[in-house]
Amino acid sequence: MATLLLPEVGHEKLPPSTGSDTSPLSVPTIPPPPRHEQINHVAYFCFLLTALGVTAGAHRLWSHRSYKAKLPLRIFLAAANSMAFQNDIFEWSRDHRVHHKYSETDADPHNARRGFFFSHIGWLFVRKHRDVIEKGRKLDFTDLLADPVVRFQRKYYKITVVLMCFVVPTLVPWCIWGESLWNSYFLASILRYTISLNVTWLVNSAAHMYGNRPYDKHISPRQNPLVTLGAIGEGFHNYHHTFPFDYSASEFGLNFNPTTWFIDIMCWLGLATDRKRATKPMIEARKARTGDGSA
């Protein structure tokens, strides 16, 4: 049988691949943009500003008038509130006052008796119950519109939201140390915004369903430590609904309550005054009368 002889092939070694192969079968890879560690700090800093705009601003200052703030502090809190992008101060405070007045009824904008999903985010997907609108009209909100800072933010809300929630967190890291716009936008703006929204919504959902009720066992809001950590002090919710005028929103003052730290620092700087507080005898008497005995 004849054998086909092939010419001898040399033993030259092929050079190692340099990654620049342009043959039709090669698949080019696009490296991700470099990420600098500073962007993590910026994202967290923006989260804190966002949270304070809601907790120290729309909630404890404008909704409950639990302390007084001078003009520079009100301007700062309004800007931080626009970064939060959770409705303007007037609308946020209006809905929150209605929530306290008619908690866990059809007049409550995020009635927790309608389930976790509804009280967390579902209430934003549907039209408000007619009781929310009708009974909300009976409350007085003239003090909110009497504040020029509230009126200014409401008038220019869309512009301030675009600037504070998206433009500033994206452009500052890019301009200062050359962070990629991709990282700045998705970390300091979108991820931070998503987390801050859900942390706030957990106060409406989880803090109305899970936890103990040492101050009033007849109402739905609970003491929820996890919400407290995420919402920088807003998880002492059974206390807050029992004593809504207390600027600390907690019996424990500075403990686990960064919002209270901030307000106290502002008082020390002379930018805040007239902090309202429930007295110790008042708290103990309420515990004995309506508490569940857990504290």
Cα separation, 171 vs 1, in Å, equals 78
pTM reported for the whole predicted model: 0.86
Question: For all residues of the chain together, what is the average pLDDT?
Answer: 91
At 236-255, the pLDDT tens digits run 999 999 999 999 999 997 78
Average pLDDT over every residue of 116-144: 95
Instruction: Flag whether pLDDT at 291 surpasses 70.
Output: yes
Contact between 152 and 244 under an 8 Å Cβ cutoff? The reply is no
Tens-digit pLDDT profile for residues 33-72:
566 788 999 999 999 999 999 999 999 999 999 999 999 9
* Measured CA distances, 76 to 50, 54, 150, 167 (Å): 11, 12, 12, 17
pLDDT, position 4: 46
Average pLDDT over residues 138-167: 97
Predicted confidence (pLDDT) per residue in 22-32, tens digit:
445 556 676 66
Give the pLDDT score at 16.
Answer: 52
Inter-CA distances, 68 with 49, 56, 62, 275, Å: 19, 11, 9, 7
pLDDT at 33: 58
Instruction: Among 8-12, 129-133, 186-190, name the one with the lowest average pLDDT.
Output: 8-12
What pLDDT score does 9 carry? 45
Comparing CA positions, the residue from 152, 154, 149 lying closest to residue 74 is 149
On the question of pLDDT at 295 being above 70, the answer is: yes
The stretch 195-216 carries a mean pLDDT of: 97
Place of tokens 């502090």: 73
Residue 73 has pLDDT above 60, yes or no: yes
| For residue 203, pLDDT beyond 60 | yes
The pLDDT of residue 163 is above 50: yes
User: Does the pLDDT of residue 219 top 90, yes or no?
Assistant: yes
| Mean pLDDT on 80-102 | 97
- Residue 19: pLDDT above 90? no
Q: What is the pLDDT, as a whole number, of residue 46? A: 96
pLDDT at 174: 94
Going from N- to C-terminal start, the domains of the chain cover 38-290
How much of the chain is in helix, strand and coil states, percent to nearest 5? 55, 0, 40
Number of Cβ within 10 Å of residue 122's Cβ equals 15
pLDDT in the model for residue 6: 44
Q: What is the number of other CB atoms lying within 10 angstroms of the CB of residue 285? A: 11
Q: Looking at residues 257-281, what average pLDDT do you find?
A: 97
Give the pLDDT score at 37: 81
Instruction: Identify the band that residue 1 occupies on the pLDDT scale cut at 50, 70 and 90.
Output: very low
Percent of the chain whose predicted confidence (pLDDT) is above 70: 88
